[in-house]
């Protein structure tokens, strides 16, 4: 079979790849759709992010869905023809964090298309993947495989919302309107937020956020003063989801947050300098959020029951043979929200 493999920055190839039959407890999935994530783009442009670097060729991709083709022995709940989303997480289940119910913090996590481990865990931009049966989650009949491939980023956002606590009636600020920021708008709206303001430095993604239900979508590069109404008193927002990983976006928010507000840092930003006195004196609560666990199946259920609609985010679908073109398109924020590969 063929796969979309990163060899070095800007060296993305369609390579032949081994295609093992499923062993006991495994299933082989014929992949239909795979979404390009920000981390895939980091591997493509820079060969990694932070201290994580590719040391060997690696198939990219971890937002994938397809159809079960074959099942190994001992797999009772899936059979050939089942439409599934593939959960890219494979926690060990036995380490202290798995046992304490934080499987996303597993000491021995195998996450598809990640160079954090050596050898790297190969990703899902392939014609077929063979995974543990528990990673293949059946989807609702009315859900398309393209939507099912959105389960992973949606799960990230559901997990982030869980870090914030209840959002019912709250005023929510989302900084950064890439696919994750846009999905935070969808999730905050579903969770009952009374007002959702989203900021970015590009107009195109803000237009998508308006369609998704943002109350206000503000370009802070050109119209920063439009945020002034939320500076009243000590600030107005109850919750910030910081989805840009950009220090300027986070710092901008400190004047807009009311005392006691919760900051959920969703974007990875490397080293940042923060106004600690503002955190102390306004009693702000700074929280991290990393990947997801049960939220993957929740994401599929909410989409499958028609409670959340992610279709407006899918801005283009290209055949995987045109992966380089697709990655370049995904990089262009004036044209793209979520770009998917088809297989």
Tell me how long the chain is. 343
Nearer to Zn ion, 92 or 329 (CB): 92
Measured from the CB of residue 295, what is the shortest distance to Zn ion in angstroms?
A: 17
Candidates 93-101, 219-227, 271-279, 299-307; binding stretch for Zn ion (CB under 5 A): 93-101
CA distances from 78 to 83, 146, 189, 336 (A): 9, 20, 34, 35
- The CB-side HSE value for 149 (13 A sphere, CA atoms) comes to 29
Q: Does 179 bind Zn ion (CB under 5 A)?
A: no
Please state the three-class secondary structure of 201-228 as a single string: CCHHHHHHHHHHCCCEEEECCCCHHHHH
Q: Does 316 bind Zn ion (CB under 5 A)?
A: no
DSSP annotation of 20: P
Nearer to Zn ion, 238 or 295 (CB): 295
Measured from the CB of residue 110, what is the shortest distance to Zn ion in angstroms?
A: 10
Nearer to Zn ion, 98 or 172 (CB): 98
Chosen residue from 91, 113, 123, 235 binding Zn ion by CB under 5 A: 91
Distance in angstroms (rounded) separating the CA atoms of residues 176 and 115:
25
Q: Which residues contact 162 (CB under 8 A, 6 or more apart)?
A: 295
- What token pair was written down for 319? 């055949």
Measured from the CB of residue 293, what is the shortest distance to Zn ion in angstroms?
A: 11
Which residue spans within 37-185 are E strands per DSSP? Answer: 48-49, 52-53, 58-59, 64-71, 83-86, 89-90, 110-111, 128-132, 136-138, 171-175
Chosen residue from 14, 52, 95, 298 binding Zn ion by CB under 5 A: 95
Candidates 102-110, 202-210, 285-293, 297-305; binding stretch for Zn ion (CB under 5 A): 102-110
Nearer to Zn ion, 109 or 188 (CB): 109
CB burial string 208-243: b at 16+ within 10 A, e below: bbeebbbbbbbbbeeeeeebeebeeeebbbbbbbbb
Q: Does 134 bind Zn ion (CB under 5 A)?
A: no
Measured from the CB of residue 96, what is the shortest distance to Zn ion in angstroms?
A: 8
Q: Does 90 bind Zn ion (CB under 5 A)?
A: no
Q: Does 209 bind Zn ion (CB under 5 A)?
A: no
Is there a contact between 198 and 256 (Cβ–Cβ < 8 Å)? no
Size of the site for Zn ion (CB under 5 A): 5
Q: Does 92 bind Zn ion (CB under 5 A)?
A: yes
Measured from the CB of residue 135, what is the shortest distance to Zn ion in angstroms?
A: 15
Measured from the CB of residue 92, what is the shortest distance to Zn ion in angstroms?
A: 4
Nearer to Zn ion, 91 or 113 (CB): 91
- What token pair was written down for 329? 């398109």
- What token pair was written down for 305? 């029951």
The interface with Zn ion within residues 11-70 (CB under 5 A) comprises none
Measured from the CB of residue 61, what is the shortest distance to Zn ion in angstroms?
A: 23
Interacting residues with Zn ion (CB under 5 A): 91-92, 95, 98, 106
């Amino acid at each position: 079979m063929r796969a979309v493999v990163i060899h070095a920055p800007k060296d993305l190839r369609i390579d032949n790849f081994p295609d093992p039959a499923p062993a006991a407890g495994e299933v082989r999935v014929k992949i239909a759709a795979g979404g390009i994530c920000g981390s895939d783009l980091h591997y493509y442009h820079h060969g990694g992010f932070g201290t994580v670097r590719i040391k060997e060729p690696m198939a990219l991709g971890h937002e994938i869905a397809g159809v079960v083709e074959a099942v190994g022995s001992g797999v009772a709940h899936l059979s050939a023809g089942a439409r599934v989303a593939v959960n890219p997480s494979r926690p060990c289940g036995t380490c202290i964090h798995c046992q304490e119910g934080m499987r996303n913090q597993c000491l021995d996590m195998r996450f598809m298309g990640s160079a954090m481990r050596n050898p790297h865990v190969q990703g899902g931009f392939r014609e077929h993947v063979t995974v543990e049966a528990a990673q293949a989650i059946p989807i609702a009949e009315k859900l398309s495989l393209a939507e099912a491939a959105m389960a992973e980023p949606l799960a990230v956002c559901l997990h982030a919302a869980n870090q914030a606590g209840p959002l019912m009636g709250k005023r929510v600020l989302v900084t950064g309107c890439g696919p994750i920021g846009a999905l935070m708008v969808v999730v905050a709206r579903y969770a009952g937020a009374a007002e959702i303001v989203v900021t970015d430095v590009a107009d195109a993604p803000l237009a998508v956020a308006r369609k998704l239900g943002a109350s206000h979508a503000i370009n802070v590069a050109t119209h920063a003063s439009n945020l002034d109404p939320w500076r009243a008193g000590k600030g107005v927002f109850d919750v910030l989801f910081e989805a840009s990983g950009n220090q300027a976006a986070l710092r901008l928010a400190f004047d807009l947050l009311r005392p006691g507000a919760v900051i959920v840092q969703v974007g990875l930003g490397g080293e940042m300098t923060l106004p600690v006195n503002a955190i102390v004196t306004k009693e702000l609560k700074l929280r991290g959020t990393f990947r997801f666990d049960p939220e993957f199946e929740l994401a599929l259920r909410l989409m499958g029951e028609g409670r959340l609609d992610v279709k407006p985010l899918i801005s283009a679908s290209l055949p995987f043979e045109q992966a380089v073109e697709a990655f370049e398109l995904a990089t262009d924020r004036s044209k793209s929200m979520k770009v998917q590969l088809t297989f």
